[in-house]
Amino acid sequence: MNNFFFKIGELFSTPGYINSLLHGFLLTIQIAYFAILIGILLGTIIALVDTARPSKWLVIPKFICRIYTTVIRGTPMALQLFIMFFVIFAIKGFPSIITAILAFGLNSAAYTAEIIRGGILSVDKGQTEAGLALGLSRKTIFMKIVAPQAIKNIIPALGNEIVTVIKETAIVSMVGMYDLNMAAKDIGSGQNMASYIVPMFVAALFYLGIIYVITFIVKRIEKSLRKSDLRAEK
């Protein structure tokens, strides 16, 4: 046990080790951040197309969206990552971080789309009908009535998806990228500390830390959105 704490001290006090870990952590954050951004943007578009009222212009886009979410959600993330690395972007010199961001972003978009779609569909139809009866446009009804209520249902699940993406980025170590997970393995190897448990324990703390912060922020947002559910006093 003493050895464990000693090794932790060693990890934090050896610039080479701690810098590797921080570099890995930075890569993890970068991939996750941009992937989540793509996921939310593309996911929103897919969800809007999917929930839009049927029209002849949307028949093909709706079909494409359905195929997209089915394929992405029906195949392993690791396989999608391999396809991106070894098939689609198997171009010499193409920055691997971009490939990774796209792989996770396109994957997350499918899940985010389902989350947003569910959120929109969970808003009572009567809310839309009230807007229609008042002569409001579809756009106003969506922006002022449906979207604000849908967001309340979306935020908790979206928070969950963000956490999932952050953790899932750990598989980029499978294609040799130096993320937090890979850094932990590298530092623990025989050429370095010759102890996997310590760097992996610290890496776990890093993952936990960032996820804790995100969960906290999501909870705060959820709470502020619950305003109209509470008994309002002025």
> Can residue 190 be called a binding residue for another protein (CB under 8 A)?
no
Of 22, 37, 71, 132, the residue at the interface with another protein (CB under 8 A) is 132
Identify the sign of the CA torsion 132, 148, 36, 67: negative
| Pairwise CA distance, residues 100 & 95, whole Å | 9
Spatial contact of 42 and 105, defined as CB atoms under 8 Å apart: yes
Of 127, 197, 205, 208, the residue at the interface with another protein (CB under 8 A) is 127
Spatial contact of 43 and 108, defined as CB atoms under 8 Å apart: yes
- Placement of tokens 């089915």 in the chain: 70
**Beta carbon of residue 120, minimum distance to another protein (angstroms, whole number):** 14
| Pairwise CA distance, residues 152 & 233, whole Å | 21
> Can residue 53 be called a binding residue for another protein (CB under 8 A)?
no
Of 15, 54, 93, 126, the residue at the interface with another protein (CB under 8 A) is 126
What DSSP character marks residue 75?
S
Of 148, 208, 209, 219, the residue at the interface with another protein (CB under 8 A) is 148
**Beta carbon of residue 138, minimum distance to another protein (angstroms, whole number):** 9
Binding site for another protein (CB under 8 A): 124, 126-127, 129-137, 140, 144-145, 148-149, 227-234
